[in-house]
Copies of this chain bind each other. A is one copy, B any other.
Amino acid sequence: MLSKDMVQLGSRRSTIREIFEFGRKRAAIVGRDKVYDFSLGNPNVPSPDSVKNAILDILDHEKSTAVHGYTSAQGDDNVRDVITRSINKKFDTNFTKDNLYMTVGAAASISICFKALTNPGDEFITFAPFFPEYKCFVEQGSGGKLVVVPADTENFQVNFLEFKKRINKRTKAVIVNSPNNPSGAVYSEDTILKLVSILEAKSKEYGHAIYLISDEPYREIVYSGVEVPYITKYYKNTFVCYSYSKSLSLPGERIGYIVVPSEMDNFKDTYAAVCGAGRILGYVNAPSLFQKVVAKCVGQTSDISIYETNKNLLYKGLIEMGYRCVEPQGAFYLFPQSLESDANLFCEKARKYDLLMVPGDDFGCPGHVRISYCVETQQIINALPVFKKLAEEYKK
């Protein structure tokens, strides 16, 4: 009688949430500092002071009805103006506010794109390892089909051979996530150029656009000066899906945006479809106070240097112990190989030490585990001997 899909989706928590709940329970028993929870991608770095200052400033100087009232569905005019100017300055683009649509966070940004594009039978391609919610949003959310290209586990760039086998005339869009959750890879300009050349050739061959959906909430979190190419400059039919969850440590506030470039095929209809999808999904408008807050904090980030400290400490530590891992270039995840072929069994063994990691299977990449290092640095220091014990167990 109820929607079976919804009951099932709601009953089976995501693996990540389940591990996190286990960690909470264990912390209550053995103490928080004895549980090494690396399961959740919840930023541990506080928002910059400018966020609090922006809120205070807005509350002091603007009328309550202006701060908390409805904005237009696509977002406050001034907010969109400020944000697009900042994008243009940073990436040498030419957007106006009419290319921007404010959203209720990253999940909303990508859900809206899927809903705007999908007709029955459409396929969306993504590259493992990938964010597991893509599957729900594409399939139960929009009625499309998610097609997964197996990982290139050498470097977590794109496995083009497998990609070419899967692209076909039903392919509506390709979803990329760089810096990547969970691998930490940043797609190089070379990867983007190869991808774009295939998309252009195939769009021509099939006589319709194949869109690129760039899911980039980790854009600012990159290491050693790595550059994250701005994809609209390479491919006109690109949606940029952004969120302030990670850059300003505001994941609970649900605030982000979609960029729809004017050069895109059928721009006017495409932007209208984005508006239609936002309406149908019941978003109404992105939270109004935080629209104004992110505009006031434009170009700023939390102190993301902590993530690089954590990454270096953890990466070097694990490599020294014999773990095999591609060094992350961004985001706040390490994605090493598990020490036995079944990552689920490996994670279970780790759990006995109250060391919590997420098996790569959910990300379409078995034999690996995700370690979220958006945690206190001290937790990593405390956890290293535990990782060592775990490795030694496998050497026996």
| Interfacial residues, chain A to chain B (CB-CB below 8 A) | 1-11, 17, 40, 42-47, 51-52, 55-56, 59, 63-65, 67-71, 73, 104-105, 107-108, 110-112, 115-119, 133, 136-137, 140-141, 172, 208-209, 249-254, 266, 269-285, 287-290
Bound-state CA distance A279–B288 (Å) is 22
CB contact under 8 A between A59 and B55, given known A3-B273, A277-B6, A287-B287: yes
B-side contacts of A253, CB under 8 Å: 68, 287-289
Which of B1, B9, B70, B271 sits near A10, CB closer than 8 Å? Answer: B271
Q: How far is the CA of A42 from the CA of B273 in the complex (A)?
A: 25
Extra inter-chain contacts (14) besides given A6-B276, A6-B280, CB under 8 Å: A2-B266, A3-B116, A3-B117, A7-B269, A10-B274, A10-B275, A40-B70, A42-B70, A45-B65, A55-B55, A136-B280, A254-B285, A254-B287, A287-B290
Which of A17, A110, A271, A289 is most buried by chain B, counting CB atoms within 10 A of its CB? A289
Bound-complex Cα distance A73 to B288 (A) = 21
Taking the closest CB of chain B, its distance from the CB of A293, in whole angstroms, is 10
Q: Which residue from B2, B52, B287 sits with its C-beta under 8 Å from A269?
A: B2
Which residues in B have their C-beta under 8 angstroms from that of A136?
279-280
CB < 8 Å neighbour of A2 from B4, B141, B273, B283: B273
Q: Is the CB of B55 within 8 A of A69?
A: no
| B residues in contact with A140, CB < 8 Å | 280
Check if B56 sits within 8 Å of A273, measured CB to CB: no
B141 touches A281 (CB 8 A): yes
B9 touches A279 (CB 8 A): yes
- CB nearest to A46 among chain B residues: B64
**A44 contacts B65, C-beta separation under 8 Å:** yes
B1 touches A276 (CB 8 A): no
Interface centre among A3, A63, A69 (most CB of B within 10 A): A3
Question: Nearest residue in B to A101 (C-beta to C-beta)?
Answer: B10
Contact in complex: A6, B115 (CB < 8 Å): yes
Report which residue of A107, A117, A281 has the largest number of chain B beta carbons within 10 angstroms of its beta carbon. A281
Alpha-carbon separation in the docked complex, A92 to B93 (Å) = 58
CA distance in complex: A141, B118 (Å) = 13
List of B residues within 8 angstroms of A108 by Cβ: 282-283
Given contacts A3-B277, A209-B1, whether A141 and B8 have CB atoms under 8 Å apart is no
User: In whole angstroms, how far apart are the Cα atoms of A208 and B277 in the complex?
Assistant: 32
**Given the complex of chains A and B, what is the CA–CA distance between A112 and B17 in angstroms?**
21
